[in-house]
Chain A
Amino acid sequence: MGIDIVPMEKGGGSDGTPISIEELDKLRQVAEKARRNVIKMLFYDQTIHVGSSLSSIEILTTLIFKHIRTDSSLVNKDWLILSKGHAAPALYAVLAEKGYIKEEELWRIQDITGLLQGHPETFIPGVDMSTGSLGQGLSFGIGVATGIKMANGSGRVYVIMGDGEQDEGEIWEAMTHAVVRNLDNLIAFIEMNNFQLDGSTEEIKPKNFLPKVWEAVGWKVLNCDGHDFISITNAINEAHKASKPVVIFAKTVRGKGFPAIENTHKQRSSPDDARKYLLNA
């Protein structure tokens, strides 16, 4: 399915399976439901970014259901920043499974009477940063992580970015900034799905050099399969041990699991395709 790297944890013996089989089943169920619900949103609104959302489902599920710790204190809670804000439908679908958002609210996405905006807003439960303009989540995350450290808090900050998003100049500013602050409570994901809005990253602006750049700047660089819960969790557990900021390059597939647009630059699809998927899958 277009995954051309073998994550380090896979194959060749035990990978330490950091998740019980029951927990793994639970994550799979949540992700499957969220995936179906994102696709089901197409019945109500055909302009949502389905392709990018399906690229993020497993990472969001793993973070929200396994790693993110809630706390009433701003500096002892974990923060989840969806810097690639156009994957909002995936975030909403997973937050609905967690009980932050009512399921029926999902069907009013982008509607004038609805709560859920096309891109995340902090007035939506479970959203830690209003995003939508690319390249801003990492800098914000550095601010949050720095504030947590100044207050001796225990919170961690997770930032999810896209590969297309790496074109933004602010990413460079933030990447070089984070290492100066020695933020061991900052974990960034970059989803490598090889597409940006107008086409493939290879045609528009290649991204294959990115891991080397982040490493040279001073980040700890990890890889994972962004659709495999064990691989994602291994990477996060490894990241928690690091004494500097960590970036996890997650190999993902645009439109993952939805044949109508899978592994293409297409963001959108039709209610007909959604119906076919929901009947067959």
Chain B
Amino acid sequence: MMQGNIYSMRETFGRLLADLGDKNKDLIVITADVGDSTRALYFREKFKDRYFNIGISEQDMVNFAAGLAAVGKKPAIVNFGMFLMRAWEQIRNSIARMNLDVKMFVTHTGYSDHGDGSSHQVLEDIALMRVLPNMKVIVPADPKDIERSLPVIIDEERGPLYYRIGREYSPPITVGQEYEFKIGKAYVIKDGSDLAIIGAGVVLWDALKAAEELEKLGISVAVINLFSIKPIDESTIEYYARKTGKIITIEEHSIYGGIGSAVAEVTARRYPVHIRFVGATTFGRSARSQRDLLDYYNINYKTIIREAIELLK
């Protein structure tokens, strides 16, 4: 039996996905031999006939899912983010090009697979996915965000979608927040007027922590959860660019092509402001915890505070 923190990202995801199988009779879960690690196995426990472990064959997995979608099934690929990228061209040429209803739920992204080191730590996937026509890209901040979004995505959303989560590390970020998930919508999880921090995923914990520290210095900071990376909420980004005139982005991903780039693309067109980018610039490495890695690579509240003070000089 699987062990794990029941409040973790993957645990929340795995249990909820299995629950959603009850009413979604066409939902099929497919994995490339990582059913245990991703918690896809919870679905297998309930729906053995709708669960396929196709072996360590990511390229085949993607086209297999595409074929199932073509005959009207609702396939959900559940895999490590890193190794799904091996099949990027299949995702592009089959799923995206035919605009098929295939959902990709990936775990172990960013530094969440801390021990395994750089071979497993995907820091490029948001860039690779958001560049694809027809593809939607969703990054929940915490287990609460998974609970908000997963039912909507499984029950209502159609077409290619990439959903990015981590593993165990999942500090509470949006607990107590009142909002409902909607594709294409960003959420202001803390309001402010001097500076806007925009990001997605677990690093929003650092964004809130930085905001709290900056408030003590008399700086009013807004924190925006860019839950939907694509489609992107241009209005909210423009509004906060105009309101604050200064933006810091934070992401557990490369700053080249990732969330910071996506925000900059919007402000460049709609309302140019100064932006500082906090995120990865190179490969990861092994560590005993995800937190150690975020601190090691300066993707944390301390960096945000430093950048904010410089920006506001």
Q: Which chain A residues have a beta carbon within 8 Å of chain B's beta carbons?
A: 74-75, 121-122, 128-130, 132-133, 135-148, 150-151, 153, 169-170, 173-174, 176-177, 180
Contact = CB atoms under 8 A, between A and B. Distances in A.
A133 B57 contact: no
Contact of A170 (B59, B66, B71): B59
B57 A151 contact: no
A151 B71 contact: yes
B55 interface: yes
A162 to B, nearest CB: 17
Contacts of B67: 129, 139-147
A132 B93 contact: yes
Contacts of B265: none
9 contacts: A74-B70, A133-B90, A140-B70, A145-B67, A146-B52, A170-B60, A174-B60, A174-B64, A177-B55
Contacts of A146: 52, 64, 67-68
Interface size range on B against A = 20 to 34
Chain B binding surface SS class: helix
Given A136-B90, A140-B94, A177-B55, A147 B68 contact: yes
A177 B57 contact: yes
A132 B89 CA distance: 12
A139 B68 contact: no
Contacts of B70: 74, 128-129, 140, 143-144, 147
B59 A139 contact: yes
Contacts of A153: 71
Contacts of B63: 136-140, 142-143, 170, 174
A176 B55 contact: yes
Contacts of A144: 67-68, 70-71
B275 to A, nearest CB: 36
Nearest to B93: A133
In this complex, the member of A129, A138, A140, A148 whose beta carbon has the largest number of chain B beta carbons within 10 angstroms is A140
A173 B68 contact: no
A147 B93 contact: no
Contacts of B68: 143-144, 146-147
Interface string B51-82: 01011010111111111111111010000000
B98 interface: yes
Nearest to A139: B63
B97 interface: yes
A74 B61 CA distance: 21
In this complex, the member of A137, A145, A150, A180 whose beta carbon has the largest number of chain B beta carbons within 10 angstroms is A150
A150 B62 CA distance: 19
Contacts of A130: 93-94, 97-98
In this complex, the member of A74, A146, A169 whose beta carbon has the largest number of chain B beta carbons within 10 angstroms is A146
A6 to B, nearest CB: 34
Interface string B191-212: 0000000000000000000000
Contacts of A128: 70
B261 to A, nearest CB: 27
Given A143-B67, A170-B63, A177-B55, A136 B72 contact: no
A147 B54 CA distance: 15
Interface string B8-39: 00000000000000000000100000000000
B72 A142 contact: no
Contact of A147 (B55, B61, B72): B72
A135 B98 CA distance: 17
A136 B103 CA distance: 19
Contacts of A145: 67
B93 A136 contact: yes
Nearest to B75: A143
A133 B57 CA distance: 17
B64 A142 contact: yes
B71 A139 contact: no
B231 to A, nearest CB: 23
